[in-house]
Structures are given as structure tokens and as C-alpha cells.
Amino acid sequence: MTRFEFIVDGPPVSQQARKRSKGNSIQDWKTTVRQEAEKYWSSEQKTATGLVMLQITYFYDSDKMDVDNTVKPIQDAIKGLAYIDDKQVSDLLVRKRNLSGNFKVENMTSTLTEGFARRNEFLHIVVIDAPDQEVLT
């Protein structure tokens, strides 16, 4: 069973960032994501070889980003670590939630608790086995 989760301080850098000359570059962001992922990777974990689901939640203070622009750089950054190739990602769940909003967290993990304890914007990224490909819900 595949399960790998980690957090990265935000805000994320958009896929559109390569078009800008100022600020964080997309490559810097990918490097940051990869370095943070490696901090959470354990020697007991194995790189997924089958289909996976990628879950990304951006906990923000000031909402300035479209969720669809956050995915590709993160996928690229963890390729070769969490999974062999991003073609293995068959399912995506991408969300953004306001840190000062009211929400209930089910299945709180120690990693997610760590993210909230930082009291800053952050991304919670989870890679799990893909759901049954023959069942749509």
C-alpha cells in the first residue's frame, strides 16, 4: 500500500511563474518541493510503480492562486521519488482552504498537525494508491 505525505511552506509558485521575470522561479519552487519531500521520505518507503492518486491541499492566508496552476510543478518535483513517472497519476484532488476559516479535519495525521503548528501558509501533499479504475463515484 502506497502512502506518502509531506508539507511544504507556501504559497506555491504557479506553473505560470516561468512567464514572469521577478519572484520565485518555477525551478526554484520544484527544488523546494523536492527537498521537503525528501525530508519526509523514509528508507522503508518504496517508490510507487502502479497508479496513484495525488492529493494537494493549499492552506492559505491570502488567496491569490488558482488551484489548477499548482499541480504540475509539484508532480514534476516528486517524480522519481514518490512514483516513477507522473503518468502514473490517474487521480487528482486539489483544494485550497483558508487557514482562518471554519473547517473540520478528519483523519488528522502528525504531518498535517505539523503544518498547522507552523502557523503559516502551507501545502499538504499526499500520494496514495489510486482508487479502483473500474469504479466511478
Q: Over its length of 137 residues, how does the chain's per-residue pLDDT go in tens digits?
A: 789 999 999 889 877 665 554 555 899 999 999 999 999 999 899 999 999 999 999 999 887 677 888 899 999 999 999 999 999 999 999 999 999 888 888 989 999 999 999 989 999 999 999 999 998 87
Is 137 a domain residue?
no
d(CA 8, CA 29): 10
The answer as to whether 25 is a domain residue is yes
Query: What integer pLDDT is reported at residue 125 of this predicted model?
Result: 98
Enclosing domain of residue 50: 3-129
Residue 74 lies in a domain: yes
pLDDT at 2: 81
pTM of the model: 0.90
pLDDT at 13: 87
Distance, in Å, from the CA atom of 80 to the CA atom of 89, rounded to the nearest integer, reads: 13
Answer whether residue 136 is part of any domain: no
Specify if 33 maps to a domain: yes
Residue 89 included in any domain = yes
Closest CA to 2 of 72, 76, 82: 82
d(CA 107, CA 110): 10
DSSP bridge partners of 93: 55
